[in-house]
Structure 1
């Protein structure tokens, strides 16, 4: 079986690869065992037929035809002979299928109905009856379709001339052709066709299997087994964690962790680890998960502070360097004379310098105390304290030194002022030009008075 799988995988890889050229082929599943169907052709006369033979391609569908007037049963079985090679202890019987009632009889009065039973084997080799239908075939007459006469066959009316300009035919010559065209066609014989009517027929499948209570009991048992497996896995994980901690801590105790545990406590802790190892392979071989967790907690009460002091020693230096670098950088910015810091007041700059100097003094003091203490004691300078102090310095320094400069005051442009003054003077001049002058009004009045006096003189009669 492994060789078959390997060959198939290699061939599939060659088919998918653009480098190799493989002849086209297909892999088809086959029926593993011959399936026989048995039914009674007549009462007391069982008939058996091999519907699906061993080696046939699957999935496969077959249609079985029966002529029945009442309900009947189909029995499906695997062929159980010496050549079948059924697995030992397996059932040869697949199931029984009861078809009907009712069985719908044809409308023409026949005493038996034609039944089509559709059976199918899927890709997994599982047999099933998919449907049962009663098929009725009746002949019906279909009226023939009479074709209409074309426009070209119609005779010319009223003796009109054709499109070619030819004169119309005489009435005597056109009469026979009109009579022939008007003669009725011979009646066509009606055609017959077959009308197929299908009706679903109910059926019941009786398959060998367990009852509902047995299935429920098996589901419950399966759930219990799964819970048991999970509990065993969690217990093994707890045991492995305890065993790994014993080996790891014992190796580090006289290695990297040697300076971080007191000399008088080191032999006792090492002896406790040895005893725990002996217990694991004796009494602790098969105990509950809670016991392993409790034993591990007892060891960690001693080992965790030692590892914490070792980790603090590794992380304290880089954290202190980061704090010192941040303080020095903010102090340089506060004491700088660059133009981008001119808008910051001297009081704000002094606050930044004071905060940085206080942090540096605190760090120097704590570092001095820490250097005088042995490594196996609780540190006075912790990494998380340094990180907290660094956050405070950054918050004060960045809020002050990154403060944006105020915008410059707005200045009015002299060109705009001059344009505004010129516009005002032009409007005043325009208003003055629109008003009439007094001299012109007086001259016009005198001219009108002279014209009136001359007119009066001309109208008066001349003296003789």
Structure 2
């Protein structure tokens, strides 16, 4: 299987990887995939083909106009955009015309590029395509007959000559069952979901291979020289640990490096990754000195553990000084459980026999066991690949990240504005061809709108991938279209909305008149004047609507409406509060009966008080009672 993926030296490029997968019993087991080999080249990706074509266009421009565009970064960026489109067109066509409006100094440039011409300028790149393929087959120790399918993804795989080259080499058709723009991202997402405990996915085991070889070099002593050992071999599995036992009693260091045949291109020539300095080895061994004096067979060593994670990250996870001894450990005596029978037999034994049994029980048996004592060793790391960043560098990187975020936000806004403009252009163009909209615009409006739409469509094509275009530019074009198209849409929408609103008002008027008729019979507390005022308001509103609708019928549909549905709704809304006022008017209390009147008068009658003009007479009985002294209570 041959696939394209991203490799990121400086500047970033697309690289060709050749990967061979294994089949079992003639059926590809997607649940268990083993990676046998990974090879790549940083110089035969889709971006390299685009760069070749862009320089070809610059050369054609120089031949015709005498200006070297390769020195103009902004112009070359535009050329790469045109070259990328031309490359994609040549995948399905034998030739294409590249037209670049105002490419440089307001000069329009047009050139024809054929597929044959494109393949000729990229011949060396096409030939290099097979180099990593051959290397992958060699490393995996597979023969051509063992390869059942060839799957290609990525920009470079779309080049017809690349596909032909692979077909000739493998003598079988190239498969395009995977979406080249999505397969790498989807595969990474599936693998991440498999590793994560947060997702439940079907069993999918990937036995990945590490494309580099890692070895470690132990520093020498006075009597011994440096020694190099293989830690992880090229093509080995990831997600594994390796432990190294080093017979040292003094401080030393270990250097990790790539093997000579797998040093990445951007690494130093010596391939060094990191160096670990183990500091307290000698002090740790002193703690073992007493045990070594007592036990001459005891052994000391330094045990270091390395891990190659499933993500291909190399780390040192443990470093310990250890003392290994052989010690005698007592074997616990087995005690017999006494039953009723054994107790009877024990009682029958003589004193001499009992004493002999007790002596045997006191004899202790021993067995040999290995005892390992461990002490953690401190170490320092000196990385040759990722040096520590200073505060100034961190500050600069944060500033750059904030700048990238602003740029990305602006880019997303521009993309959203562009998509909105494109959608509006296509939707409005279909409006002009819709028979339902034809009565709602005049010929002058149609011609002007069609002119603006054509100009906007051409502008979109010309400014595709133009970094100078901003979101405001797209919004201005959008507003220009809406200023012409919106009145036409509103006229059509008003026809339906106006009719619906008139029907709603008519229903309201009918309901109100029915309520007024019921009020005359069932609500005598509502006066005739109040009922007439409501009916007059309904009649005047209805008359206004009828007059406006008569004027509207005489007005062409392609003209501004005489009356809108909103205006009709506003007039009708005045009737409802008048109606609700009468509906909610409280009834007066019923008149009182004669009996209720008498009770009311009795409750409210107050004794008449004497006035100064009419002095009251004093009765003897009343005066005597008042003069009688109170009697003592017995």
Give me the TM-score of the superposition, normalised by structure 1: 0.61
Aligned to 1:309: 491
Alpha-carbon distance in 2 for matches of 1:279, 1:238: 14
Alpha-carbon distance in 1 for matches of 2:449, 2:419: 20
After the TM superposition, which of the residue ranges 371-380 and 43-52 deviates more from structure 2? 371-380
Aligned to 1:133: 320
Contact between 2:32 and 2:204, CA under 8 Å: does it hold in 1? no
Aligned to 2:618: none
1:123-272 to structure 2, matched below 5 A, reads: 123-138=310-325, 139=327, 141-142=329-330, 144-145=332-333, 147=335, 150=338, 152=340, 153-154=342-343, 177-183=350-356, 184-186=358-360, 187-191=362-366, 193-207=369-383, 208-213=385-390, 214=393, 217=396, 220-221=399-400, 223-235=402-414, 237-238=416-417, 241-242=420-421, 245=424, 249=428, 252=431, 259-261=439-441
Contact between 1:334 and 1:352, CA under 8 Å: does it hold in 2? no
Aligned to 2:169: none
- SS of 1:198's equivalent in the other structure is strand
Matched, 1:70 2:250: yes
Deviations 1:150-173 (A, max 9, x none): 35444599xxxxxxxxxxxxxxxx
Deviations 1:229-287 (A, max 9, x none): 54345345545655665665566468655554566666666666666667777799754
Structure index of larger Rg: 1
Matched, 1:35 2:214: yes
Query: C-alpha displacement at 1:39, in angstroms?
Result: 0.4
- SS of 1:65's equivalent in the other structure is strand
Aligned to 1:80: 260
Contact between 1:65 and 1:117, CA under 8 Å: does it hold in 2? yes
- SS of 2:364's equivalent in the other structure is coil
Query: C-alpha displacement at 1:60, in angstroms?
Result: 0.8
Query: C-alpha displacement at 1:121, in angstroms?
Result: 0.7
Alpha-carbon distance in 1 for matches of 2:572, 2:20: 63
Distance 1:395-1:143 versus aligned 2 partners, 3 A rule = farther
Distance 1:26-1:305 versus aligned 2 partners, 3 A rule = closer
- SS of 1:48's equivalent in the other structure is strand
Contact between 1:155 and 1:178, CA under 8 Å: does it hold in 2? no
Matched, 1:107 2:280: no
The aligned length equals 373
Contact between 1:144 and 1:188, CA under 8 Å: does it hold in 2? no
- SS of 2:311's equivalent in the other structure is coil
Contact between 2:330 and 2:364, CA under 8 Å: does it hold in 1? no
The CA RMSD measured in Å over matched residues stands at 5.0
Distance 1:77-1:308 versus aligned 2 partners, 3 A rule = same
Tell me, which stretches of 5 or more residues in structure 2 are unaligned? 4-18, 34-202, 294-298, 585-634
Alpha-carbon distance in 2 for matches of 1:5, 1:396: 85
Alpha-carbon distance in 1 for matches of 2:458, 2:350: 127
Distance 1:351-1:273 versus aligned 2 partners, 3 A rule = same
Deviations 1:41-86 (A, max 9, x none): 53451111112223433211111112322221111222213xx5x5
Aligned to 2:227: 47
